Structure formats: C-alpha cells, structure tokens
Amino acid sequence: MNTEQTPKASDVLIVGAGPTGLALALFLTRMGVRVRIIDKTAEPGTTSRALVLHARTLEFYDQLGLADGCVEGGTKFNAVNLWVNGRHAARAPFDDLGDPFSRFSFILVYPQDKQERMLVAALEKLGVTVERRTELVSFEQLDAGVSAQIKTADGATESCRAAYIAGCDGAHSKVREQLRTGLPGGDYAELFYGADIEGKGAALNGEVHIAIDDADFLAVFAMKESGTARLIGALRRDPAKTAELQWSDVNTRVIDHLKLDVAKVNWFSTYRVHHRVAGSFRQGSAFLLGDAAHLHSPVGGQGMNTGIGDAVNLAWKLAAVIQNRIDPAVLDTYQSERIAFAQRLVATTDRAFAFVTARGPIAKRVRLTVAPLVIPLIFHFRAIRRFLFRTISQIGIRYPDSWLSAGHAGAVRGGDRLPWAQWVDGGATRRDNYEFFSSLDWQLHCYGEPSDAVRATCASRGLTLHAFAWRPEMNQAGLHRNAIYLVRPDEYVGFADAGGDAGALVRYLDQHHIATLHAYVDHRLPLE
Ligand SMILES: Cc1cc2nc3c(=O)[nH]c(=O)nc-3n(C[C@H](O)[C@H](O)[C@H](O)COP(=O)(O)OP(=O)(O)OC[C@H]3O[C@@H](n4cnc5c(N)ncnc54)[C@H](O)[C@@H]3O)c2cc1C
C-alpha cells in the first residue's frame, strides 16, 4: 500500500530509538522542542549489548534525574585487574584517586537493554512515544528543513516535514547513506563475542578483570546478581566453518587461566567490529550521531557512551537555534567538537585492540613478557591512574578549539568540562557545583563574590547566577576565586574570566547571540 498522507511537522525527526536517539529525544523534549522519534523495530532491544555507563554519561543522566536509578540498579566497579597467562599482573584501583573528579567516580555496569527501557519510560512520562515499526525510507533537504518518506506500521508511506533530521539509526544508517558522507576506516578480522554466564571463580569479585594470553583476550564484568557475569572476548572465524558460531567455538584457555568455572551460558552473541568515522557529521539540516557516525572496538566500553555524548552536545544547540536563542553557526560546532573526539577515540581504541589481539612472535613477547613488567609500574602511579580514569570515563573530553570556547581562569579554559567540586556547608550538608544543571540552561558560576556589574548583567539577560562562597575545595578543583565561568547547558565552560569582568561576559553573549532558555520560557512560550 502506498498512501500519501498529510505531512506531519515536527522540529526534529529522530531516526532510531537506540540509546543515542532516545537520549536526544529526552533532552530536546525537556528543552521544549517538538520531536518525532521513529524506529523500524517492533520493540526496544532485549539483549544487553553495551554494558558500561561511564561517569560523564551518568553526569548527563543526572541532568534528567535518571542517574541515581542507574546507580541503584547497576554494579559499581572501583578497580580493573590485568591477568597475563593466568598470572595476576596488576590492579588499578579507582577509589583512591585523591580528589574525586565527579559524583560518579566509578565504572557502572548497567546493560543497554535496561537503559533503553529506562529512557523509553522517561520519554513517555514527557508525553513522547517512540513510533515503532516505522522506517525512514528516504529524505530530501529543502530550502528550510527536510521532507522525509516514512513507511509506517500499517504499511502506508507517509511524507513528513521537519526542521531537522537526526540520524541515530546505527551502523547501517539510512541517513548516512543518503548524505553520502562515506564511512572511511577498516574492519577487524576478529569477531567479538559477548556471553552472559553463571559460574564461580575469583574473577567474580566485583571488579573488572582483563586477561590476555598468547592468543586471546577476555574481559569479565560481574553482574548485579551474584554468581553471574558478562564475558567479552574475540574469536577468529574458521573460514571453512559456515554455521553460526556458538559458545563451544570459544577457546576456553584464557577462561581456564582465570580459573573461571562457567556452569551455564544464558546468552551468547557474536558481532563484527569496525573502526570507522563518517566523513562529516552535519550536512545542512541533517546530522549523524552515535553508531551512525562512528564505529569502534568495544575496548573501554566507549561506543554507547559516545553516542549519548553526541546527543547531549547536539540537543541544546538545536533547541537554542530552533528557539532563536543563539547564532545558528553554533550547529557547525556539533561536527567540529564531536568528530575530533570520535577520530581520537577510534585511533586509541584501535591501538588498544591491536595490543590485546596482535599475533606474531614480537607482539606475543611484548604482550606476555614486557607488558606484565611495565603495566604494574604504570598503575603504581596515582597520577597515571587519574589520567586513565579521566580518559575512560570521558570526563577528560574538552573542546578548546571550538568557536564557543573563550577565556581562562585558574586551571580552567573555555571548552573544558566544568571541574566538579564538592564541599560540606555550615549545616553539615554535602554540596557540589553540579547541583543546578537539571535546568538544561546556560548559567553563570562565581566561586567567591561576584561584582555588582556581573549581578546586573545576569539579571538583565535572564542568566541564572550561582555564587558559591569560596572554599579550599574549589581551589583544589582548579577554580579561581571571584572568577566567572559561563557554563553551557552540557556542563562545559563556554567563557571564563579570572577578573570577573562583566563587560567581557556581555561581549561573549552578544558575539554568539546567546539568550537563555529561562528567558525564552518566561517571555515567549510556556514549555508544557
Ligand atoms: C552484540 C553486541 C554487543 C555489543 N557490545 C558492546 C559493548 O560491550 N560495549 C560497547 O560500547 N558497545 C557494544 N556494542 C555496540 C553498542 O551496542 C552501540 O554502540 C550502541 O547500540 C549505539 O547506539 P545507537 O543508538 O547509536 O545505535 P543503535 O543501538 O544501533 O540504534 C539504532 C536504531 O535505529 C533503528 N533504525 C535503523 N535504521 C532505521 C530506519 N531506516 N528507520 C527507522 N529506524 C531505524 C534500529 O532499529 C535501532 O533501534 C555492542 C553491539 C552489539 C550488537
């Protein structure tokens, strides 16, 4: 059946309701943008796939009030262990890193299927339902916006208009195909496998264990229910074998080396892994996010977290442009900020993956002889563990070269994530400077005493000012007394000024034509 229907208009058409599309829909809806989110599948994914939520993603979820639920329902890891040829070579604890970086200074196992259900439920609470069995067939860019052809659940073809289209449609993205951005990079010969097992052994002690031997590698993540774990490893396909690979095809030597006794396998799946980044993330009114934009090995559990980071980065920029609250040039910063990170990430995970899987006598020698000597030494240094945690947790992502980044104060430059600082106030209550980001709006922070001119600028611009009485903990976090930090809705510093200069703040706001969501809601439209 091919029934043309009256075009439906929305601000943003989101194609794909994986974690990336769902996060984008949630942030946009919370900011008052009308979204339409479609997915060709009948229901959310029922297998866990990606497993870990990193600190930076939890900070984003915290803005939506979802982080505490994840922490309660997940399993926290405070240390990663390395085993080489059955010998425990190193342990890197993350719970002794000194001043914490984040309210979430740990790695959290919270499987993707649980997360997708949580995001769908949160979206439904806001009155948005994912349109299931609804597939993007094609789209074209118009002078203003896009027109998309969509196949709906009843088999009809519908024409749909939107100001923007967001391709969150995964590795085989139709949006990317139509944009012809290409997806340069390569593929790995190895297949990955994931297995949810029941069993026992020292590796199920609530920490992450990574084991390598001369041929294989294995990562073990204990799950919430005691005696259960997710195993992730690589296997080589025998070219002569055409049947689907099974658990019995896994070389169990590295598992035996860990003295892991697998009693039952509840889920087993293999998947091909690539290292590729799309040629561009934006063309006109169309954007690529998540797996549609970049693919990499699961080493470090970065894939899903990066997609959610893309979604948050784009959401506030799209909302501000749609609501005429910022210079539309901001949309170019989505690509410049996120493609640079994706390219670095693909290169790093590629090197890590090559290290754990490389064959040949030299690679074997490095992995089995040199690494067990060098890695414990490296992990011994707290500064190195801090660096590793900042990197893996995505807390270290920064955008110093962005059009949006200006100024510096203390150790903080425009484009840095606002350093997290925590202290105990006079009433013995624990406070921190991330308390107010659920507003999803620009805000000005002053650690100390803001000038009258700064107060007056904030009042006249509808910019919320958070003035925190100066504490030594702020100095330790790298913040500067009496400086001003203009913080973006995604918790990155746009502009910083050590002297707390109101004139420089006004110039930054005017240069980028920034108006706040708060002022927009108060003066233009109710968001409900
Ligand atoms: C078996 C398996 C194990 C994995 N393990 C890990 C891991 O351990 N760690 C890790 O980081 N990553 C892992 N991944 C990758 C991780 O799952 C992805 O990075 C993550 O799902 C990306 O989210 P996304 O929302 O960008 O894309 P996806 O989750 O792929 O979602 C895309 C959505 O778009 C929909 N869609 C596609 N085309 C259309 C269309 N034309 N119209 C409408 N809808 C469409 C799809 O139905 C899908 O729901 C694994 C993947 C698999 C398959």
Ordered by where they begin, the domains of the chain are 4-43+51-70+110-183+278-350 (3.50.50.60), 75-108+185-274+358-397 (3.30.9.10), 406-525 (3.40.30.120)
Give every CB contact of residue 510 below 8 A, 6+ residues apart in sequence.
none
Chain segment 69-110, per-residue pLDDT in tens: 999 999 888 888 989 888 898 888 887 776 788 999 888 999
Q: What is the DSSP string of 325-351?
A: -S-TTHHHHHHHHHHHHHHHHHHHHHH
pLDDT of residue 20 exceeding 80, the answer is yes
Cα–Cα distance measured from residue 30 to residue 12, given in angstroms and rounded to the nearest whole number? 13
Inter-CA distances, 462 with 291, 441, 492, 507, 509, Å: 37, 11, 19, 16, 12
Whole-prediction pTM value?
0.93
pLDDT of residue 122 exceeding 90, the answer is yes
Nearest atom within ligand 1 for CA of residue 175: 41
What pLDDT sits at residue 3?
Answer: 43
pLDDT of residue 485 exceeding 50, the answer is yes
What pLDDT sits at residue 2?
Answer: 44
Greater pLDDT, 494 or 48: 494
CA-nearest of 245, 329, 324, 305 to 523 is 324
Residue 54's Cβ-count burial label (10 Å; 0-12, 13-18, 19+) is buried
Q: Whose CA is nearest to atom 29 of ligand 1?
A: 18
Cα–Cα distance measured from residue 310 to residue 193, given in angstroms and rounded to the nearest whole number? 26
pLDDT of residue 424 exceeding 70, the answer is yes
Pocket test of ligand 1: the residue of 37, 39, 43, 191 to mutate, having most ligand atoms within 8 Å of its CB, is: 39
Structure tokens of 349? 């995970």
What pLDDT sits at residue 212?
Answer: 86
Greater pLDDT, 211 or 100: 211
Express as a percent the part of the chain with pLDDT over 90: 65
Pocket test of ligand 1: the residue of 112, 221, 274 to mutate, having most ligand atoms within 8 Å of its CB, is: 112
Cα–Cα distance measured from residue 504 to residue 371, given in angstroms and rounded to the nearest whole number? 50
CB 472 within 8 A of CB 478: no
Greater pLDDT, 42 or 347: 42
CA-nearest of 349, 340, 395, 307 to 54 is 395
pLDDT of residue 1 exceeding 50, the answer is no
Cα–Cα distance measured from residue 80 to residue 220, given in angstroms and rounded to the nearest whole number? 10
Cα–Cα distance measured from residue 134 to residue 152, given in angstroms and rounded to the nearest whole number? 4
What pLDDT sits at residue 240?
Answer: 65
Q: What is the mean pLDDT of the chain?
A: 90
- Taking the CA atoms of 183, 186, 190 and 196 in sequence, report the sign of the dihedral they define: negative
What pLDDT sits at residue 216?
Answer: 79
Give every CB contact of residue 436 below 8 A, 6+ residues apart in sequence.
443, 464, 466
Structure tokens of 318? 């799209």
Q: What is the DSSP string of 175-234?
A: HHHHHT----EEEEEEEEEEEEEEEESGGGSSSEEEEE-SS-EEEEEE-SSTTEEEEEEE
Most confident of 126-135, 250-259, 289-298, 426-435: 126-135
Which of left, alpha, beta for 394 (phi over 0: left; psi -120 to 50: alpha)? Answer: left
Amino acid identity of 58? Answer: L
Q: Which residues of 243-282 are buried (b: 16+ CB within 10 A; e: fewer)?
A: eebeeebbeebbbebbebebeebeebebeebbbbbbebbb
pLDDT of residue 528 exceeding 80, the answer is no
Amino acid identity of 396? Answer: G
Q: How far does residue 345's CA lie from ligand 1's centre (Å)?
A: 18
Express as a percent the part of the chain with pLDDT over 70: 95
Cα–Cα distance measured from residue 198 to residue 27, given in angstroms and rounded to the nearest whole number? 37
Pocket test of ligand 1: the residue of 179, 291, 345 to mutate, having most ligand atoms within 8 Å of its CB, is: 291
Cα–Cα distance measured from residue 231 to residue 238, given in angstroms and rounded to the nearest whole number? 21
Structure tokens of 1? 């059946």
Residues with CB under 6 A from ligand 1: 15-21, 38-41, 49-51, 112, 135-136, 168-170, 174, 194, 232, 269, 271, 290-291, 298, 301-304, 307
CA-nearest of 478, 469, 424 to 450 is 469
Average pLDDT over residues 337-344: 93
Structure tokens of 66? 């979802």
Lowest mean pLDDT among 15-24, 318-327, 380-389, 433-442: 380-389
Q: How far does residue 30's CA lie from ligand 1's centre (Å)?
A: 24
Q: Whose CA is nearest to atom 10 of ligand 1?
A: 50
pLDDT of residue 5 exceeding 60, the answer is no
pLDDT of residue 263 exceeding 70, the answer is yes
Q: How far does residue 307's CA lie from ligand 1's centre (Å)?
A: 10
- Taking the CA atoms of 377, 379, 380 and 381 in sequence, report the sign of the dihedral they define: positive
